[in-house]
Each structure stands twice: as C-alpha cells, then as structure tokens.
C-alpha cells in the first residue's frame, strides 16, 4: 500500500460559511483560504445539523448523526462524557492505520477523544498589551513546532487544530481590528444594539469586550469579520510552513467548522444558538495536491456527519466496518453522483433545547422547553421566499407544520430503532448545566433568569467539561 498522507485538519470554531469570501461574501475576509482551496474541492452547502460545539465535532469526527453519537448538548455528560459506546473517532481509526495523532485545544471534550498527544494554547481573551486576543498566533506557536516533531518521527500524522478566532470575543489585533469599520461606533443615536443591552443573559459578557460606549451593531459585526480575516492570515502561515517543509504532496488539508455564528440577528446576539441559517452554515473543503483535482465546487447539500467517511474514502481506508450514518462525498470528486439527502433533522442544546426539520424550501423549529427569548414554541420559515427567516408562518400554514412534524417524528422513530436508544434530545434534560435548576425549564422567565454569561472567563469555563 502506498504511504498514507499526513492530515492537516483546520477545525475552526464558529466559522460561518456566508461570511467567507470563498463562498461569495462581499468582504475579502478569507483570501488566503480561498486561494488555497482552489487547489482542491469545496462544498458550498455543508450544514452543521446538531449545534453547538460538542455535538458538531462529534458528528464531524465520527461519521454519525446525533442519534449515533448520543451527543446533543454543549456540556455533554452522558456515557462518562463520551460518545455512545462502540462509536470510534476518526483519530482512533487513523491510529489503527499507523497514524501518529495530535490534537490542539480540544482535550476533555467528547469530540476530542483518542489522540496520542494533546497540546493547549493561551486562547480566548486579551493576552497582550494591546488589549486584543492573539488567538490564532498563539495556536500557530504550538502548531508549527508540532508539525516539525510529527514529520521527524517518520509516520503519517494527523494534526487536528481547533482555532477559536471567530468565537466571541471578536478581538483581532491590528491592523485587522479596523479593517472593515471606519465609522462612529459610539453614536448615541444609533440604537442597533438596544436589543442586546436589554437582554440580561448576554449583555454584560458582550459589554466586557466591546469598547465602552459602543452602540453600533455594524462595528461588532465588523469585528467578527476582522477575526475571520486574522485567522485566514494565520492559516496561511501554516500552509506556507507545510510547503517549506516539502510535504505538500504528502498532506491532505481539511477546512471545516463545527457550526456558524449568529451576529446581531434573530435576538441571538453574537453567539451560536437558534436553529437559523447563520448557525447551521459551515465551510468544508479538501486539498491534496496531485491527488484531488483542483477547482472543484459542489452544491450538494451535505452534513458534518459526512466528513469522516469522505476523508477515509479519499485516503483509501476501508470505511465499511464502521457503519457510518454519514456518507462519503468523494464520488463527486471522481465525477460520479451520490444519493441526495436534501432534508434533515436539526437540533440545538446551547441556551435552548429545540429541534426541527430543514428542507431546501422549508424550516420547521419546535421548542422542547420554553425559549429564553420568549419566542413561540413553533416556528416555520419559507427559505426561498424568506431566506433571512424573518416571517414565522406557523400560524398561517398549520398544514405545513403538521406535514413536517410528521416527517421529523418518523425520522426520529427510525433512528431510535436503528440505534436502540431514545432520541438524546429527550434524555439530555440537564443540558443547561445550571446547578440551581434541575431538569427542563418550565417557563421562559426561568430560562432567562437561569442562563447568564457575565465575562470572558465565564464563557471559557462554560466550554470546559470539568
């Protein structure tokens, strides 16, 4: 067998596909990634069906949907903080095939199991005298020496890197921080952040990292874009290092995100909850010089559960023993077709417990407990007529609600039968990890009062498992 390639895996937290120039965004946020992705295959309709981070990465790195992983919550606690018994991670499959595996910034999470080496970097908040967050450079300071170490050991290697820059706080250093905004951020007549400032669960956290007196949502939105642009430049540094090491033709490069990000939209305020399109849309691209034909773009609807089977197929590793719920997308790269999966089940357990059903035309969202934003328990959107999901049609089109509710429930029953487990959306009842409230919230007021982020430090702690 030909020597297997290295895998340079850019796992980028909170990167929203539609804010990348690679996928048509008008701001030049990702010129380096776009330039490199042209050398391989890009997928323009990749979705994270189960948000946020923990279920997103678990689906991505197991080839299973949330029924297969039994993981739906950010602060997952089932199975001793592991995926369901018998499910293998990509890292474990690769180790069995002779890979040396390293993971950066994901130790202790259910999605980060199975690596030989774990490394961390100083991450989220301001960490320099300039008061900005140098997340990507901190990551690269760990990544580049680790690439050298892995390459020197002579085995094929898998390096998983979790970059945090598009995750709030958005604090890219100069010159990126002013790249996309040159206006007035503290105009007292600007009321665009008024909704956020009236929303107790998030307001103190956001105010802890935006400038004092900031009133402009455009400014904060631009800081997200700046964080993406800063990340893009840092990723280019790693790619150039790989090229300088002379291993580009021996390395499969993967670009993907666990979920997107909602900015000043849908009352979600610079976070990744709500089953709206900004949170579900993620990038996916593969480059392997000399092995994947350049310039390929595919519009097939796909999900994060397809990532692992696709990678194994590209590598030529037999995927049949693992009974993936996801499918390989590699036939598309060989000019073949794949079975369409244009409709799918969607879930969230971040600050709300909801699930639903998405088709190319319709999206149904049903709350499993009261919403901290006091939104109605059922939402229905026509994604063609109303792509920004601003007009809830649930009361106007009850027959559509009923039709897609039945489809969703039939899929749930099918997957429960196939896995032999109850839908984890029905069993993860302490998803919120609020020590002062056991089980589901009974009212929206309870959820509003019980879910609070006060600072960057608290936001970091909420991501930790112990």
Residue 158 maps to a domain: yes
| Partners of 138 in beta bridges | none
pTM: 0.95
Q: Pick the residue with more confidence: 465 or 351?
A: 351
Domain membership of residue 141 (yes or no) is yes
* Closest CA relative to residue 456, chosen from 263, 210, 244: 210
Quick one: pLDDT at residue 179? 95
Per the document, the length of the chain is: 466
Do 193 and 259 share a domain, yes or no?
yes
Query: Residue 106: what pLDDT?
Result: 86
Whether 195 and 138 have beta carbons less than 8 Å apart is answered as no
Q: Residue 108: its pLDDT value, please?
A: 84
CA distance 357 to 207: 34
Residue 448 has pLDDT above 60, yes or no: yes
| Greater model confidence, 355 or 464 | 355
Residue 434: pLDDT over 80: yes
Find out whether 267 and 20 touch, Cβ atoms under 8 Å: no
For 145-201, write each residue's pLDDT tens digit: 999 999 999 999 999 999 999 999 999 999 999 999 999 999 999 999 999 999 999
Confidence of residue 1 (pLDDT cuts 50, 70, 90): very low
Helix (H) / strand (E) containing 339: none
Residues 6+ apart with CB under 8 A from 83: 58, 62, 64, 69, 70, 71, 89, 110, 111, 113
418 and 277 belong to one structural domain: no
Q: pLDDT above 90 covers what percent of the chain? A: 87
More confident: 47 or 458: 47
The 10s digit of each residue's pLDDT in 398-413 is 999 999 999 999 999 9
Q: Is residue 339 assigned to a domain?
A: no
Mean pLDDT over each residue of the chain, to the nearest integer: 94
pLDDT band at residue 460 using 50, 70 and 90 as cut-offs? low
Q: The CATH number of the domain where 358 resides is what?
A: 3.30.1120.10
Looking at the fold, whether 154 and 241 belong to one and the same domain comes out as yes
* Structural domain count, the chain: 2
Q: How confident is residue 367, by pLDDT bands cut at 50, 70 and 90? A: very high
Give residue 447's domain range: 344-463
Same domain, 31 and 152: yes
Listed residues 307, 333, 359: the one ending a domain: 333
What confidence category does residue 318 fall into, taking pLDDT thresholds of 50, 70 and 90? very high
Q: What is the pLDDT of residue 131?
A: 87
- Whether residue 1 is contained in a domain is answered as no
Domain-terminating residue out of 288, 303, 333? 333
Per-residue model confidence (pLDDT) at position 128: 67
Which residues 6+ apart lie within 8 Å of 177 measured at CB?
A: 132, 171, 223, 226
Between these two residues, 464 and 167, which has the higher pLDDT value? 167
Query: Quick one: pLDDT band at residue 433, thresholds 50, 70, 90?
Result: confident
Same domain as 54, residue 117: yes
The per-residue pLDDT for range 79-109, each reduced to its tens digit, is 888 999 999 999 999 999 999 999 998 888 8
For residues 317 and 350, state if they share a domain: no
Tokens of 219: 């400014």
In this structure, the answer to whether residues 361 and 244 fall within a common structural domain is: no
Last residue of a domain, one of 303, 333, 363: 333
The domain that holds 23 is classified in CATH as 3.40.720.10
Q: How far is CA 169 from CA 18, 131, 255, 354, 360, in A?
A: 19, 12, 22, 25, 32
**Do 201 and 301 sit in the same domain of this protein?**
yes
pLDDT class for 18, splitting at 50, 70, 90? very high
- 289 SS3 class: coil
Domain for residue 83, yes or no? yes
Q: What is the pLDDT of residues 4-15, one digit of tens each?
A: 999 999 999 999
Residues 270, 306, single domain; the answer is yes
pLDDT in tens, 221-231: 999 999 999 99
User: Is residue 309 domain-shared with residue 370, that is, in the same domain?
Assistant: no
Asked whether residue 338 is domain-assigned, the answer is no
What whole-number distance in Å separates Cα of residue 290 and Cα of residue 40? 9
Residue 255 to residues 7, 145, 294, 369: CA-CA distances in angstroms?
11, 20, 15, 35
Q: Which of 4-18, 70-84, 338-352, 449-463 has the lowest mean pLDDT?
A: 449-463
Cα–Cα distances (Å) from 267 to 196, 199, 271, 384, in that order, read: 7, 9, 10, 22
C-alpha distances in angstroms, 277 versus 17, 208, 262, 282? 10, 27, 8, 10
Tens of pLDDT, residues 43-80: 999 999 999 999 999 999 999 999 999 999 998 888 88
Q: What was the pLDDT predicted at 464? A: 52
The helix (H) or strand (E) run that includes residue 222 is helix 217-244
**Over the stretch 235-277, which tens digit does the pLDDT of each residue have?**
999 999 999 999 999 999 999 999 999 999 999 999 999 999 9
Please report whether residue 66 resides in a domain: yes
Q: Please report the pLDDT score of residue 88 as a whole number.
A: 96
3-state DSSP call for residue 465?
coil
Please check whether residues 189 and 90 belong to one and the same domain.
yes
- The pLDDT value given to residue 2: 64
The pLDDT-based confidence of 129 (bands split at 50, 70, 90) is: confident
Contacts of 182 (CB under 8 A, 6+ apart): none
Give dist(CA 115, CA 109) in Å, integer: 12
Answer yes or no: is pLDDT of 466 > 60.
no
Q: For residues 457 and 150, what is the distance between their CA atoms, to the nearest angstrom? A: 33
Q: Is residue 14 part of a domain?
A: yes
Reduced DSSP (H G I as helix, E B as strand, rest coil) percent helix, strand, coil of the chain, to 5:
35, 15, 50
pLDDT at residue 465, rounded to an integer: 43
pLDDT at 53: 95
Instruction: Say if residue 66 is in the same domain as residue 169.
Output: yes
Q: Measure the CA–CA gap between 21 and 228, rounded to whole angstroms.
A: 10
């Amino acid at each position: 067998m030909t020597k297997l390639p290295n895998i340079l895996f850019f796992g980028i937290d909170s990167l929203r596909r539609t804010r990348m120039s690679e996928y048509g965004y008008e701001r030049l946020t990702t010129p380096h990634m776009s330039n490199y992705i042209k050398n391989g295959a890009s997928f323009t309709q990749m979705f994270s069906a189960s948000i946020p981070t923990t279920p997103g990465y678990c689906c991505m790195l197991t080839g299973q949907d949330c029924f297969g992983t039994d993981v739906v919550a950010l602060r997952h606690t089932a199975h001793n903080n592991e995926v369901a018994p018998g499910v293998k991670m990509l890292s474990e499959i690769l180790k069995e095939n002779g890979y040396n595996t390293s993971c950066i910034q994901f130790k202790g999470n259910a999605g980060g199991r199975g690596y030989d080496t774990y490394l961390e970097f100083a991450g989220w908040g301001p960490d320099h005298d300039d008061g900005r967050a140098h997340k990507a450079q901190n990551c690269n300071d760990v990544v580049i020496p680790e690439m050298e170490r892995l390459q020197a050991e002579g085995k094929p290697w898998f390096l998983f890197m979790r970059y945090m820059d598009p995750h709030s706080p958005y604090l890219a250093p100069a010159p990126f921080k002013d790249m996309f905004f040159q206006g007035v951020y503290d105009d007292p007549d600007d009321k665009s952040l008024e909704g956020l400032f009236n929303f107790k669960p998030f307001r103190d956290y956001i105010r802890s990292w935006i400038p004092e007196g900031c009133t402009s949502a455009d400014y904060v939105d631009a800081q997200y874009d700046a964080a993406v642009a800063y990340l893009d430049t840092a990723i280019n540094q790693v790619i150039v290092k790989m090229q300088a090491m002379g291993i580009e033709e021996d390395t499969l490069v993967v670009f993907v995100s666990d979920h997107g990000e909602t900015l000043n939209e849908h009352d979600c305020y610079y976070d990744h909850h709500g089953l709206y399109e900004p949170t579900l849309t993620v990038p996916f691209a593969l480059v392997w010089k000399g092995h994947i034909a350049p310039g390929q773009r595919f519009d097939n609807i796909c999900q994060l559960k397809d990532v692992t089977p696709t990678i194994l197929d590209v590598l030529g590793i037999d995927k049949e023993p693992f009974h993936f719920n996801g499918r390989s997308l590699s036939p598309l790269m060989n000019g073949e077709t794949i079975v369409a999966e244009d409709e799918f089940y969607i879930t969230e357990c971040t600050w709300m417990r909801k699930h639903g059903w998405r088709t190319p035309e319709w999206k149904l969202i049903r709350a499993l407990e009261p919403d901290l934003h006091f939104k109605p328990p059922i939402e229905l959107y026509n994604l063609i007529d109303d792509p920004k999901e601003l007009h809830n049609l649930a009361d106007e089109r009850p027959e559509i609600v009923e039709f897609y509710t039945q489809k969703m429930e039939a899929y749930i029953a099918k997957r429960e039968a196939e896995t032999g487990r109850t839908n984890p959306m029905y069993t993860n009842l302490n998803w919120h990890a609020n020590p002062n409230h056991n089980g589901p919230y009974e009212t929206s007021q309870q959820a509003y009062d019980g879910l609070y982020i006060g600072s960057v430090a608290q936001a970091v702690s909420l991501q930790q498992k112990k």
